[in-house]
Amino acid sequence: MNENILVTGGAGYLGSTLVPALLESNCKVRVVDNLIYNQSSLNHVCYHKNFEFYDIDVRNTKSMEEHYKWADTIIPLAALVGAPLCEKDSVGSQTINHDSPIHMFRSIDKSTVVLMPTTNSAYGSGNENNFCDETSPLNPISEYAKQKIQVEKELMERENSVSFRLATVFGMSPRMRLDLLVNDFVNKALKERSIVLFESHFKRNYIHVKDIARVFLFALQNFNSVRGEVFNVGLSNANLSKKELCLRIKEYIPQLQIIETKHGKDPDQRNYIVSNTKIESRGYKPMYSIDDGIKELIKGLPLVSHSPYRNF
């Protein structure tokens, strides 16, 4: 590949894993990020001749115009991610997660490729068996998921777009996050040796951050086979309840105490089993299992401190 790729929010949790992979694939990569977490997560790629960085807020539409024109492909990662953060900053959520990408779609040339991460949390709770595939009705609960649905609807009206409904992400990244469920549970298991579970039967699907980087590369390399479609991206063997996830972690941290309680309620009431068959049928397969991620996190989390690595 030898494309001009614009990654907004490219210094974040996903972007700081994706950008090096794009550079390794001989892409010219331009990152736009306003570094709201004061992160230095792309220091290790500054040597690369095909890397550029611009400290810009994506809501600055005038400043973004030249970057949109430069790009053959745009991967818009800039977002306030997750239900708690969007509830905390509703104005930022609306302007960054919704208004900014909508403006981008209406500003760019129709030939520009857009590969967009959305979320499988839009399914809410699935059908009577909690099963969801790309044809399932959407039932978003959080404001974050509702905004992603609205953006995806307009995205898919473009000719050259793909939406990836991502599962809950896990794994180490240069811009680490400890608020994601697997990362959070492993961190608690390491530091506190106990996890208090409410709604322990609620199921989610999961995906390693490196496999997200891989799915974007897959789409770039196989664009004609994915153009104009929506895909779930997750581990087909990892539709796990909270308790099942904790029991998996306990296999590696035997001292972990799992405490179930009826007191407490998740603000994001999603509970589903997600099919990833569609993207797999096109030739994409994840490489990293839940167990790979747990073992990686056990090694990696002692390297990071608590405070800088949360989104809320």
| 31 shares its domain with 154 | yes
| 221 shares its domain with 246 | no
pLDDT score at 206: 97
Specify the number of domains making up the chain. 2
As a 3-state breakdown, the chain gives helix, strand, coil percent values, each rounded to 5, of 40, 20, 40
Task: Give the 3-state secondary structure of residue 23.
Answer: helix
Q: 97-152: per-residue pLDDT in tens?
A: 999 999 999 999 999 999 999 999 889 876 667 899 999 999 888 888 899 999 99
| 53 shares its domain with 186 | no
Greater model confidence, 307 or 266: 266
Rounded CA separation 234/203 (Å): 13
Q: 148-193: per-residue pLDDT in tens?
A: 999 999 999 999 999 999 999 999 999 999 999 999 999 999 999 9
| 192 shares its domain with 134 | no
Q: 272-298: per-residue pLDDT in tens?
A: 899 999 999 999 999 999 999 999 999
- Mean of per-residue pLDDT scores for the chain: 93
For residue 36, is it within any domain?
A: yes
Greater model confidence, 86 or 48: 48
| 26 shares its domain with 95 | yes
For residue 194, is it within any domain?
A: yes
For residue 282, is it within any domain?
A: no
For residue 279, is it within any domain?
A: no
Checking if the pLDDT of 306 tops 60, the result is no
| 96 shares its domain with 224 | yes
> What's the domain range around 245?
181-203+237-274+288-309
pLDDT score at 296: 98
pLDDT score at 61: 94
> What CATH number does residue 242 fall under?
3.90.25.10
Of 305, 309, 272, nearest in space to 128 by CA: 272
| 151 shares its domain with 251 | no
Hey, what are 286's tokens?
A: 């994840």
| 116 shares its domain with 196 | no
> What CATH number does residue 74 fall under?
3.40.50.720
| 198 shares its domain with 303 | yes
For residue 281, is it within any domain?
A: no
For residue 283, is it within any domain?
A: no
| 108 shares its domain with 218 | yes
Instruction: Return the percentage of the chain with pLDDT > 70, whole number.
Output: 95
| 114 shares its domain with 221 | yes
Greater model confidence, 129 or 46: 46
pLDDT score at 77: 97
| 126 shares its domain with 189 | no
The model's pTM is: 0.94
The one-letter code for the residue type at 149 is I
Phi, psi of 282 (to 5 degrees): -90, -5
